[in-house]
Amino acid sequence: MSSLNTLVKDMRKGWTGYLFIAPGYLAFIVFMLAPILFAISLSFYKASFNLSARKFVGFAQYLQLSHDPVFKQALVNTIEYTLIIVPATVLISLLIALLIDPMGTRIQAFFRGAFYLPGVAGGVVLSVVYLWIFNPTYGLFNYLLGLVGIKPVLWLATSPASFLAVCGVVLTFTIGQPIILFLAGLAGIPQDILDASTVDGANAWQKAIFIRLPLLRPVLLFVLATQTINVFQLWEVIYMLTGGGPYNTSTSLVFLIFQTAFLSSNYGKASAIGVVLMAIILVFTLVQLRLWKENDF
């Protein structure tokens, strides 16, 4: 009882601090926690635009998803997007960061801005640009292929060209942030360690593999986690470029949620897909926390 009274007294003493953090918690509850709980509850109902007429169906939505070929295709596509885009983003951004790191401050600032700018523009703006680049009649890619005698390719209307096109566009605006993070991590490596390795005869390749990479492990895990979560939520590029086609070969889970909720007005099924996606992301996050040990910091 005394400990409880002490806790209450401490809370009363720090009431001004709680006032400062209250807006952040309130925004989290209103815009994050409440919608998540509502989506979970809605997944157990068959609901259309008129939510007042929803009907409780229990786990029927989830059982329906287990037999839905479109959902299975979207799930496989999302996993394939993750397995292709995330490793490519990490490897490319890490390689670029290692190349930029020895350069001067001004040159580093130029490359940081150059690679980060597509991320500021966003996927929608870049998709509009790539709609012209991928155009089968007057697009840049087919023009370059024609110069070497290759027939035009229907980049956005055939499989697997449409899938690879989405991957390529996403790569263009996702490598900027990891490059900046890797450069910050490289800047935090003590110079005396690198100098000692130079004295021991280590070359640039050996320094990168045996010194820089192990010391970049916390940053690497963070980039890997955030990029995977971002790719799992991929949909705007698919919406702008392929519309999920052809025959759902480029559909992702989030794009399927958009189609199910706003085109088919099946909010219960869309919520069930969202809950499944949230569970997948949660499992991945728990795995990352397992790998993210305290001695990495």
Q: Quick check: pTM over 0.95?
A: no
Q: How far is CA 226 from CA 26, 181, 242, in A?
A: 24, 12, 25
* CA count, 13 A, side-chain hemisphere, 103: 14
Partner residues linked to 56 by β-bridges: 45
70 neighbors 244 (Cβ within 8 angstroms): no
Residue 55, SS3 per DSSP: strand
Indicate the residue type of 60: A
Identify the structural domains of the chain with CATH numbers, from first to last: 2-42 (no CATH), 61-296 (1.10.3720.10)
How buried is 297 (Cβ within 10 angstroms: 0-12 exposed, 13-18 middle, 19+ buried)? Answer: exposed
Query: Token pair of 244, please?
Result: 């999920």
pLDDT (tens place) for every residue of the chain, 297 residues total: 556 666 666 666 666 777 788 888 899 898 888 988 988 998 888 887 777 778 888 888 899 888 889 999 999 999 999 999 999 999 999 999 988 988 878 888 888 888 888 888 888 888 889 999 998 888 888 888 888 888 888 888 888 889 999 999 999 889 989 999 998 888 888 888 877 877 777 777 888 888 888 888 888 888 988 898 899 998 989 999 988 888 888 999 999 999 998 888 888 899 999 999 999 988 887 887 777 655 454
